[in-house]
Structure 1
Amino acid sequence: MKFHKLNLAALPDNLYNNQTHVKKWLELVTSSEDGFAPNSLNQVQPVERDVEIERLAGIAFYMLGNVLPFALPPLLISTLFSETGAFILKFVLGYFTILYTVTKYYNGKFIKKYNRPSDLSPIDTKDNQYLHTERNNQKYLSVQFVWPDTLQRPAFENQPMIFCAIPHGVAPMGITAYPFWSKLFNDKLCHWTCAPVILKIPILQKYMKGIGYIPAKASNISDTLTKKEENVGIILDGIAGMFQSHDEMAYVKKRKGIVKIALRCGVPLVPVYGFGHTSLWKVVVDPFGFLEALSLKLDVSLTPFFGRWFWFLGPPVRVPICICMGDPIKCPKVENPTQEEIDKYHGLLVKGYEQVFEQHKKAYGWGDKVLKFV
């Protein structure tokens, strides 16, 4: 089988814009008949100093920003009872201010460097996906895309798809290469899904919605696929997958809802495996599973994690990310799919994950690893 590879990190900056025709990107694609050479997909590439600093502060700021709305109320209450609580609150707010200041400075710098507008467009979601922060993610993590010839244009130019990515890890950084999902395989905007609560966090919701995120609900996904006729991306193992990040374990055995949606809409499912996602952060998992159970109940992660230099809630280790796609699973349009039909295509999706992992694991330097399904 023929495979194609695009080095996103090495893409010239002048080609990273909504006006560039996809042919310009495809001219930079490397192809191979039998897959890629061992250890060829796991190379950490040099990164500009300003990009690295921006990502160190920017990702830490983003991570803290996700946590702060939930942490502030108990911190404020703690100040009423102890001086320690007041000290912790001052420290957190001071740390947040420093991250904000550094991020703000570099935001202005990269807006000019990449010739980007200073704010999101209210009408052009596709253009919004070319954020300078996500461009720097690609460079910081040496991101590459690999896909089979069965997904190559023009195979699905006129049909929306569902990209089903695993593993989640602490944060699936590879999917933040948003423009590539919306241009490489067809010209349909790709909407990634997230927990509904994320789209209610002040400030963050503006940017998430501005680049096309939708709630991970069946109605929103179905409307996007059928009424808008646009692509959808989903991290299939979700919050549960964060607690499996100590190993290559796919929490997908019970994740059949997306298959039912695909059958009702008659759209293909694309298995996607993100090599490197489980190595970006060190997750602290309690032995009793309390945090996991509570996180699943609230649909939000409550587990502590450490990044580069053992930085609490900090930026990830500079591990190369390789996003590998498998053969699309073509689903027939079935208005009311039976459980047998759902199980059949879910089995094909699981098989797709296994195949894509086995096909590329040696090229990523993971020849001795096995993908386990839970």
Structure 2
Amino acid sequence: MASIKHRIKCEDGAESDSAFSIILLFLLLFTSLWSISLLYFAWLYLDWDTPNQGGRCSMWKRNWTIWKYLRDYFPIKLVKTAELPPDRNYVMGAHPHRIMGIGFFCNFCTESNAFSKQFPGLRSLLTTLARVFCLPIYREYLMTSGVISVDRQNLDQILSQNPCGQVVVIVVGGAQEALYSGPGQHCLSLLNHKGFVRLALRHGASLVPIYSFGENDIFNVKTFPADSWKYRCQMTFKKLVGFSPCIFFGQSIFLGTSWGLMPFRRPITTVLGRPIDVPQVLHPTEEDVDHYHTLYLKALDRLFEEHKESCGVPADTHLTFL
């Protein structure tokens, strides 16, 4: 229970944690511990570009025992469907983009499901918005977990490294898709998201579809009609800030109350699909991108159909691409 509370704070409360960290660092300036704040801000200045230069992953942190408690709370599983040879790089599209990417974090930023043993020779890195790394203290937590900036130059640098075996995990759907994250919904904002395919083509990295079943069942989400003023407010906020404000709730940590911010205990099964071989094309055309994007959509749909019933999804449920 303590571990999952920690994860909620870190994933879903990034802004509040950052505000607390900034206030704490500021208040320390007026105490006998003022040097701590000055040293950290000096470190922040010198280390500012690290999230855009491959990050700073700590295997020691990824092996913390607390992540196993996180895994067992839901529980979270990682399903391997094919071998991924370490003699190449991979661009993995992670779906769906929900309120909390608990399955993606657990499987690709920790060793609770033994990613490095299931896929020896591979190093997994989960991407997020570059602006998140402007948050003091929280940025250190993210980087040591193996989270990096989704900045294009950063990804180009990582996928150009030798030896191979780099795995870049991109949650493709973005802020828009988070609005379709209620239980039982399987809607992916993917038809106009092609940048990850272009990235794979530039480096000849294999594309791998990922679907995390159960990710959309751990919270109830309030949705609004597209023609309502509330939905328009969400879209305006997304354009200004970069993410969609969602109204959601789960269960309470206290007995006797029916709702809160603790996620429901629902099984999450993250399934890695078969790799799609992609040739290296330094300057891919729109036809190249469209071709491999179509192959990716078909592979993702096939992955969903093959595993949905074993993961508790009704047989008559299908993916919807938006």
How far apart are 1:244 and its partner, in Å? 1.2
2:76 is the counterpart of 1:134: no
2:121 is the counterpart of 1:187: yes
How far apart are 1:198 and its partner, in Å? 1.5
- Please name the residue that 1:41 is paired with: none
Does the 8 Å contact 1:240/1:296 carry over to 2?
no
2:274 is the counterpart of 1:327: yes
C-alpha separation between the residues in 2 aligned to 1:365 and 1:214? 32
Given the superposition, is the C-alpha separation of residues 210 and 124 from structure 1 closer, same or farther in structure 2, using an over 3 Å criterion? closer
Q: Which one of the candidate residues 193, 198, 212 is aligned to 1:274?
A: 212
- Please name the residue that 2:150 is paired with: 216
Does the 8 Å contact 2:125/2:167 carry over to 1?
yes
Cα deviations by residue, 1:177-218 (Å, 9 ceiling, x for unpaired) = 223444422322211100112212222110101122111122
Q: Which one of the candidate residues 100, 107, 110 is aligned to 1:171?
A: 100
3-state SS of paired residue (2:100):
coil
Q: How does 1:1-374 map to 2 (within 5 A)?
A: 53-62=1-10, 65-68=13-16, 125-148=58-81, 151-152=82-83, 155-176=84-105, 177=107, 178=109, 179=111, 180-227=114-161, 229=164, 230-246=166-182, 247-287=185-225, 288=228, 289=231, 290-309=233-252, 311-312=259-260, 314-366=261-313, 367-374=315-322
Cα deviations by residue, 1:346-368 (Å, 9 ceiling, x for unpaired) = 11111111000000111112123
Cα deviations by residue, 1:46-84 (Å, 9 ceiling, x for unpaired) = xxxxxxx21353234335632326888xxx9xxxxxxxx
How far apart are 1:140 and its partner, in Å? 0.8
C-alpha separation between the residues in 2 aligned to 1:70 and 1:143? 27
Once the two structures are overlaid, the 10-residue window that deviates more, 235-244 or 335-344, is: 235-244
| Counterpart residue identity of residue 236, structure 1 | V
| Counterpart residue identity of residue 239, structure 1 | A
| Counterpart residue identity of residue 300, structure 1 | F
Does the 8 Å contact 2:304/2:319 carry over to 1?
yes
C-alpha separation between the residues in 2 aligned to 1:123 and 1:240? 29
C-alpha separation between the residues in 2 aligned to 1:327 and 1:307? 33
How far apart are 1:221 and its partner, in Å? 1.2
Does the 8 Å contact 1:164/1:271 carry over to 2?
yes
| Counterpart residue identity of residue 85, structure 2 | F
| Counterpart residue identity of residue 73, structure 2 | Y
How far apart are 1:296 and its partner, in Å? 4.5
How far apart are 1:266 and its partner, in Å? 0.3
Does the 8 Å contact 2:10/2:17 carry over to 1?
no
Does the 8 Å contact 2:57/2:143 carry over to 1?
no
| Counterpart residue identity of residue 295, structure 1 | K
In structure 2, list runs of 5 or more residues that go unmatched. Answer: 24-54, 253-257
Does the 8 Å contact 2:18/2:138 carry over to 1?
no
C-alpha separation between the residues in 2 aligned to 1:331 and 1:164? 14
Cα deviations by residue, 1:124-178 (Å, 9 ceiling, x for unpaired) = 6233222344322211111112222xx22xx512212112110011012111222
Given the superposition, is the C-alpha separation of residues 328 and 201 from structure 1 closer, same or farther in structure 2, using an over 3 Å criterion? same
Task: State the identity as a percent.
Answer: 25
| Counterpart residue identity of residue 233, structure 1 | V
3-state SS of paired residue (2:310):
coil
Given the superposition, is the C-alpha separation of residues 296 and 169 from structure 1 closer, same or farther in structure 2, using an over 3 Å criterion? farther
Q: How many residues in Structure 1 have an aligned counterpart in Structure 2?
A: 269
Does the 8 Å contact 1:128/1:211 carry over to 2?
yes
Does the 8 Å contact 1:158/1:186 carry over to 2?
no
C-alpha separation between the residues in 2 aligned to 1:311 and 1:62? 20
Cα deviations by residue, 1:5-39 (Å, 9 ceiling, x for unpaired) = xxxxxxxxxxxxxxxxxxxxxxxxxxxxxxxxxxx
3-state SS of paired residue (2:170):
strand
Cα deviations by residue, 1:320-341 (Å, 9 ceiling, x for unpaired) = 0011122111110001011000
| Counterpart residue identity of residue 252, structure 1 | L
TM-score w.r.t. the length of structure 1 is: 0.67
| Counterpart residue identity of residue 296, structure 2 | L
Given the superposition, is the C-alpha separation of residues 298 and 173 from structure 1 closer, same or farther in structure 2, using an over 3 Å criterion? same
Does the 8 Å contact 2:173/2:189 carry over to 1?
yes
C-alpha separation between the residues in 1 aligned to 2:119 and 2:160? 18
Cα deviations by residue, 1:74-100 (Å, 9 ceiling, x for unpaired) = xx9xxxxxxxxxxxxxxxxxxxxxxxx
Does the 8 Å contact 1:163/1:232 carry over to 2?
yes
Given the superposition, is the C-alpha separation of residues 335 and 261 from structure 1 closer, same or farther in structure 2, using an over 3 Å criterion? same
**Cα RMSD after superposing both structures:** 2.3
